[in-house]
Amino acid sequence: MTMPGIVQDRRKRPSENLSEDESLPSSPGSEGSKRARYGNDASQISVTTLSTGRNRPRMQQQQHDNLHDEDEYKQEPHKPGSIVRVKLRNFVTYTAAEFHPGPSLNMVIGPNGTGKSTLVCAICLGLGWETKNLGRAKEIGEFVKHGSAEATIEVELAASSDQRTNPVIRRVVRKEGNRSTFHINGRSVTQKEVVRLAKSFSIQIDNLCQFLPQDRVVEFAGLTPIALLAETQRAAAPEYMVQWHEDLKTLRNKEKSIEIDQSQEKDHLQRLQASQNATRDDVRHWHERQSLLKEASALERCRPLIQSNILKDQHAQVKAHREAAIRELRQLEAEVAPTRQAQEDAEKYQADIEKVRGIRSRAAMSANQHAEKIAADIKEQQSALKELEGNIEAERGDEKQRRLDARRIEKVISDLELQLSNPPDDANGETMKARRTELRAEASSAERRCMELRENMDALADRIRNKKMEQARKASERSKLDTQSGQQASRLQSISRDTAAGWEWIERNRESLQLHGEVHGPPVLTCSVADPALADAVEAQMKITDFTAITCTDGRDARLLSSKLLGEMKFHQVSIRTVPQALSSYRPPVTKSELEGYGFDGWMLDYIKGPDAVLAMLCDSAAFHRTAFSRAQLSSSNYSAVEQSPIASWIADGQKYRITRRREYGQSSTSVISLKKARIFTGQPIDTENKRQLDNMLKELDQDIRGMTEERGRVKIEMDRLQGERDEARAELDTLKADMDRAAKAKAFYDSLPIKIEQKKCELDTIRQVMSETSRRVLEYKAKIEEVALQTAGYAIEYAKAVARLRQMHENLVEAEIRFVEACSESQILKAENEHILQYVKDKEKEVNELKVCQQELKARYNAIISGIRERFQELTVEEKALLDDFRLRFQTEEELENQVEAVKSKLGMMSDGNANAVKAFEKREQEIETVQERLQSFQEELDQTKEQMKATRDQWEPQLDALVAKISDSFSHNFAQIGCAGHVEVHKDEDFENWSIQIQVRFRENEALSILDSQRQSGGERAVSTIFYLMALQDLARSPFRVVDEINQGMDPRNERMVHERMVDVACREHTSQYFLITPKLLTGLKFHPKMTVHCIASGDHMPDEGHEKLDFAKMAKIALRVKRGIHMPA
């Protein structure tokens, strides 16, 4: 890459004309620039930078010595963050290239396609931003040169005061996997660190006011005034102003939200208060009745208190009476004490005698028991003798029975041995087994065959059913062919089977889909042509997908149907569209009267009928509202007028016309297509061939059904026959099985005979052994009889002694009984003498005991009542306890209490029950009113706080914003004034801070008022001029160290482009301005030049020579151009 000396254009200042001896020496490296050429691409380029000579710290120095300018100009150094150098390798069209931008305006020129915008891409991607900021390829790998595996971008930025060297950012992009690696000064870093470094210099690649690539110029021109304000603040205002704006938007949204909530709560409070006022009297009556009910309940609860008071008084009275009776009893007992003592002595003697009598009675009883025990022993011995004698008799009887059992068992053994000698006949066993196997095989074979036939019958039934269903469908299709809707459905089926099936599914499931808006069928079903003669024109306006598109008025329905039809049902040829706006929003480019003035009959939208949503879809897709129609051919004058009108397409006299205009070049072209015959909206009857095919299909289906029905009948007969054979085989198999079971039982019995014989022989041996022991047991029994007889004689002697002792004990007892009778007689005499005295004492004792019992009963009743009262008092409220205390003091008797209860019940009887639910609702509303009032208070406090915050923030932000926009407006107006026009910029202040915006007003012609810049009032070139002037107005205010504008002159006429360029040079080359990159093909000549400009000329592409390009020297070429120009201006 070579960098020759500068070329200065002095046409703006006459005093700066070049002299005769001006020369432009080339750079020492201009002759040595060599490159190799590869095909016809821009893989190797020659870049020449036209600039003033200066020293560049930390980069290659370029010397330019022979400057002949009467005004020596001092070049400024690069500002921190500005671009010092850009080096590329295998990037887009470049194999290798290196740029050295100047610190002020850098004008990059070259023919289209040479790679000017590639520098813009390199700056964006090299500083770590994403591809979306370029508006080009989305994948980073697409920026790698074709045929290369990776690309390298190296960007050197001017260092800040706290940096020792210029930071060099290097990004390596690998095509495979779309991966990138980053380095800063050779150190590997992440993409976030690179972006963080760039942002530390206030570089904003994502701000269109600072970085405007070619492919995003339209996007910037289309920025809304609201978005323009946001981008302007990001570009020219401090960050805290942007944050203030965001805070104000947030606070305003919060304020609106609070105001809405507050308004809703106020309405809610008014409704609640109205409801409270309406039910207040009913609630008061209800509370009065509840008060009476509480009083009645309290009176009933007071009854135990009255009763407890009465019981307490009664208990005190009984206690006093008992104490008096006890005193009387004590006095009486003292008076009768001697009499009672004599009686007590007699009674004591009687008790003592009674004790002696008891002792002697027990001794006599013991002697009697001893005698009786000996008598019992004697009886026991006698019973033992009888038992032994009985055992002897039993043994003799058992002996006789055992002999009979032995003879019986011997007979059984003989019979079993006889049976054992005659084994059963087993000759037919194998025959029966073979027959059983044969019968099982026959039954199984018949069963398998029946199953096969049954499956065959089921298959035939399914086929018959399917055929009948198909027959019904075909019959339905055949009947539909005789109706208009059926014919349209048939046409849809012929155009797109998937769409026909999908629409049929939607119609069947419309209710279950829960759609949010309207869903309309394809136009082939829902639309019609008003005049059949115009069907050719209507169909010519539509594509095939326009005929079959399903229209949704809600985007959610479109997504749902897409997931169902395209996702789950796997349909392919289905088009689902959403109506972007209402039909009324589609307005034609000219009015009806203007249309008729051009010779047209109407718009194509006038000749098709259908639902509004479907027509809106056709307007959006096929521009029915913008396509004019005429039955006759347009006249030459009308045709010429239409070419200059906003109408871009029309149909006339069987032909379709379309104009393609290129505003940037002022050119247009017209294409003409002949209309084809209509196939959809023809209104003609359906093809009879289709009917004939359906009739034939129905006949074939009927024949198939009859044939399959007959075959099923034959299979049924065969299956019935096989089932009979199977049942016969099973019956014979059951009989054979019974015979085999009987034979098996006989064989088992015969096999068990030896065991049975052995068991009987063992049993016989046991009997014989028992018989041999019988004599021994009889002798043992006789010996025991002698022993028992001796013991019985001993017991008889002891019994005689016991009887004698019993007689003595009985005599002693009789003596004691006589003395006891005497003592009892004496005690009774004394008792009779003192009976009336003792009776009086007993009566008094009884009285005392009765009073004691009465006192205890009263105390128990009192305690029970008091206990119940305590339990119930714990459940009472404070109010109820107060009522009970009052009633207990007011009423002394139950009668007084009962009178008050009757009075309260009488009042309650005269009052209605009321509605408890209404009272609950009233109380609930009362609580809710309090809650709502608290919320309203909270809302008001929060609203006041929000307003205070918003006012404080606005008082800081608004004046600074006004000052900023005023500066932009002054510069913007000055730029327009320099080209003889007028411009103004102001802030549109809305109630909502989200709607604050930048309003740009311009005037390009005299005697006109300033008008807002938009696409309706100004042409494309005027909007481009306004856009670049706005960007230039930001130049002095920009916080970014550099700005990039790529081909902003698109759409400008030469006059505007020249004026804009001159003004841009003046603004961008002022002192202390940021670095500027202007990318342009430079189609004009004689543009203004400034010493601070750096001009980068790019030469590459197909027109580069194969050889000798290394001698290309832009400085020499510029020198020749200046001489030619000077010769033209020299006087003859």
The answer to whether position 270 is within a domain reads no
Q: How far apart are the first and last CA of the chain?
A: 41
pLDDT attached to residue 1048: 66
Check: CB of residue 998 under 8 Å from CB of residue 229.
yes
Assign 597 to helix, strand or coil: helix
Domain match, 537 and 395 both: no
Domain match, 518 and 403 both: no
* Confidence class for position 288, pLDDT limits 50, 70, 90: low
Assign 837 to helix, strand or coil: helix
Residue 190 structure tokens = 């992440």
Domain match, 581 and 623 both: yes
Domain match, 744 and 788 both: yes
Q: Indicate the residue among 819, 845, 863 that finishes a domain.
A: 819
The answer to whether position 156 is within a domain reads yes
User: What CATH number is associated with residue 136?
Assistant: 3.40.50.300
Task: For residues 666 and 282, give the distance between their C-alpha atoms in angstroms, rounded to a whole number.
Answer: 85
Task: For residues 323 and 855, give the distance between their C-alpha atoms in angstroms, rounded to a whole number.
Answer: 11
pLDDT attached to residue 38: 34
The answer to whether position 583 is within a domain reads yes
Residue labelled with tokens 């070429």 = 1117
Task: For residues 916 and 285, give the distance between their C-alpha atoms in angstroms, rounded to a whole number.
Answer: 11
Check pLDDT > 50 for residue 13: no
pLDDT mean over 262-281: 84
Closest among 313, 294, 301 to 868, alpha carbons compared? 301
Within 8 A by CB and 6+ apart from 794, the residues are none
Residue 436 structure tokens = 């059983």
Check pLDDT > 80 for residue 874: no
Residue 1026 structure tokens = 């306004």
Check: CB of residue 679 under 8 Å from CB of residue 417.
no
Closest among 76, 175, 189, 176 to 127, alpha carbons compared? 189
Q: Are strands 105-109 and 1075-1080 parallel, antiparallel or unpaired?
A: parallel
How far, CA to CA in Å, does 194 sit from each of 184, 211, 400?
A: 8, 17, 128
Domain match, 451 and 519 both: no
Closest among 265, 260, 245 to 992, alpha carbons compared? 245
Within 8 A by CB and 6+ apart from 414, the residues are none
Phi and psi torsions of 23, nearest 5°: -135, 155
**How does the average pLDDT of the chain come out, rounded?**
77
Domain match, 408 and 531 both: no
How far, CA to CA in Å, does 539 sit from each of 365, 525, 607, 624, 762?
A: 141, 14, 11, 11, 117
The answer to whether position 866 is within a domain reads no
Q: In what helix (H) or strand (E) does residue 1075 lie, and over which residues does it extend? A: strand 1075-1080
pLDDT attached to residue 196: 92
332 vs 34 pLDDT, higher one? 332
Domain match, 464 and 494 both: no
Instruction: Give the residues across from 107 on adjacent strands.
Output: 1078, 1095
Task: For residues 369 and 1090, give the distance between their C-alpha atoms in angstroms, rounded to a whole number.
Answer: 159
Check pLDDT > 60 for residue 162: yes
Percent of the chain at pLDDT > 90 equals: 12
Task: For residues 1091 and 75, give the distance between their C-alpha atoms in angstroms, rounded to a whole number.
Answer: 8
DSSP 27: P
Domain match, 422 and 488 both: no
Check pLDDT > 50 for residue 1130: no
pLDDT attached to residue 80: 92
Domain match, 514 and 451 both: no
Domain match, 120 and 213 both: yes
Q: Indicate the residue among 652, 674, 696 that finishes a domain.
A: 674
293 vs 210 pLDDT, higher one? 210
Residue 79 structure tokens = 């500002």
Q: Within its chain, how far is the Cα of 639 from the centroid?
A: 60
* Confidence class for position 50, pLDDT limits 50, 70, 90: very low
Q: In what helix (H) or strand (E) does residue 773 lie, and over which residues does it extend? A: helix 688-833
Letter for the amino acid at 210? Q
Host domain of residue 193: 14-222+1099-1129
pLDDT attached to residue 139: 85
pLDDT tens for 382-404 read: 888 888 778 778 877 777 787 88
How far, CA to CA in Å, does 1065 sit from each of 865, 981, 1031, 1059?
A: 112, 18, 13, 10
The answer to whether position 1032 is within a domain reads no
Closest among 608, 614, 621 to 521, alpha carbons compared? 614
Check: CB of residue 352 under 8 Å from CB of residue 847.
no
pLDDT tens for 486-540 read: 566 677 777 888 888 888 888 888 888 888 899 999 998 888 887 888 888 898 8
Residue 170 structure tokens = 């290097």
Domain match, 462 and 499 both: no
The answer to whether position 828 is within a domain reads no
The answer to whether position 323 is within a domain reads no
Check: CB of residue 535 under 8 Å from CB of residue 678.
yes
Closest among 1, 8, 127 to 60, alpha carbons compared? 1
Task: For residues 433 and 441, give the distance between their C-alpha atoms in angstroms, rounded to a whole number.
Answer: 12
970 vs 870 pLDDT, higher one? 970
362 vs 602 pLDDT, higher one? 602
Assign 202 to helix, strand or coil: coil
**Number of domains forming the structure of the chain:** 3
Task: For residues 626 and 588, give the distance between their C-alpha atoms in angstroms, rounded to a whole number.
Answer: 5
How far, CA to CA in Å, does 737 sit from each of 160, 443, 740, 797?
A: 112, 15, 5, 86
Task: For residues 403 and 405, give the distance between their C-alpha atoms in angstroms, rounded to a whole number.
Answer: 6
Using a CB cutoff of 8 Å and minimum separation of 24, what contacts does 458-465 make? 460/708, 460/711, 460/712, 460/715, 461/712, 463/708, 464/705, 464/708, 464/709, 464/712
pLDDT tens for 336-360 read: 677 777 777 777 877 888 888 888 8
Q: Are strands 602-603 and 608-609 parallel, antiparallel or unpaired?
A: unpaired
The listed range with the strongest mean pLDDT (380-394, 743-757, 924-938) is 924-938
Q: In what helix (H) or strand (E) does residue 169 lie, and over which residues does it extend? A: strand 168-174
Task: For residues 515 and 561, give the distance between their C-alpha atoms in angstroms, rounded to a whole number.
Answer: 10
Percent of the chain at pLDDT > 70 equals: 78
In total, the chain counts a number of residues equal to: 1132
Check pLDDT > 60 for residue 41: no
Check: CB of residue 641 under 8 Å from CB of residue 621.
no
Q: Are strands 105-109 and 1094-1099 parallel, antiparallel or unpaired?
A: parallel
pTM: 0.40
Domain match, 462 and 509 both: no
* Confidence class for position 588, pLDDT limits 50, 70, 90: very high
The answer to whether position 180 is within a domain reads yes
Check: CB of residue 976 under 8 Å from CB of residue 983.
yes
Burial 1039-1076 (b: 16+ CB within 10 A, else e): bbbbbbbbbbbbbbbeebbbbbbbbbbbbbbeeebbbb
Q: Indicate the residue among 641, 657, 674 that finishes a domain.
A: 674
Give the lowest-confidence range in 25-34, 227-236, 263-272, 622-631: 25-34
The listed range with the strongest mean pLDDT (12-16, 18-22, 923-927) is 923-927
